Amino acid sequence: MMPQRIRFSLRALLLLTGGVALAISLFFAWPSSGALIGPSLFLLFFLCSTALLFARKNAGCKRMLRLSVASLAFIVLLYASFGPASWAMARFNTPGSKIPWAYEAYSYVYRPIATNLIFSPAPIRSASIRYTAWWMPDGAEFHDWGIGLGWSVPGWTYTVIHY
């Protein structure tokens, strides 16, 4: 039996390389520009999903629709995870904890999301504040300082962001 030949597509390789390069650059730009990147990607993938919904007859459009909807769902889940992540930080990561890198990881991912929460329109802001406050564990008090977010637990206060 003759070994099967590997099929190689230059177009697929170029798209994959571009996608990986874009993902890496977005990862490194997230802390400084995430407050702009997150809503921009949400709008982009929402518009792409809506447009591709009408062009589902083509197989390539179907694949792009699936990718666009999956990316949109990822962004929505990232923003929805702010509440559970804040709960975990308030519950388990006290100043005497053995996980000091958790503060940096939390700030890296969620500081741009908190920025979006602070500067969003009033109805979205109030719903987001209520959602995040709902996730706070017993004994923790969530704070909305108008230009900042954080919480207090007995013995310490954590500020997510403050302008």
d(CA 141, CA 153): 6
111: closest CA among 146, 86, 90?
86
pLDDT reading at 19 higher than 70:
yes
Exposure string of 118-153, with b = 16+ CB inside 10 Å and e = fewer, is beeeeeeeeebbeebbebbeeebebbbeeeebbbbb
Specify whether the CB–CB gap between 86 and 135 falls below 8 A.
Answer: yes
pLDDT of residue 154: 80
Contact 141, 154 (CB under 8 A): no
Residue 78's pLDDT is 92
Question: Could you tell me the pTM of the whole model?
Answer: 0.79
pLDDT of 73:
93
For residue 39 the two structure tokens come to: 């809503």
* Residue 18 pLDDT greater than 80, yes or no: yes
Averaged pLDDT of the chain = 85
> For residue 122, which of 141, 142, 146, 143 has the smallest C-alpha distance?
146
> Is residue 125 within 8 Å of residue 118, measured between CB atoms?
yes
pLDDT of residue 80: 93
Q: What is the pLDDT of residues 80-134, one digit of tens each?
A: 999 999 888 888 876 677 777 888 888 889 989 988 888 888 898 889 888 988 9
pLDDT above 70 (res 1): no
Q: What is the pLDDT of residues 132-156, one digit of tens each?
A: 889 988 888 888 888 888 888 887 8
* pLDDT the model gives residue 146: 81
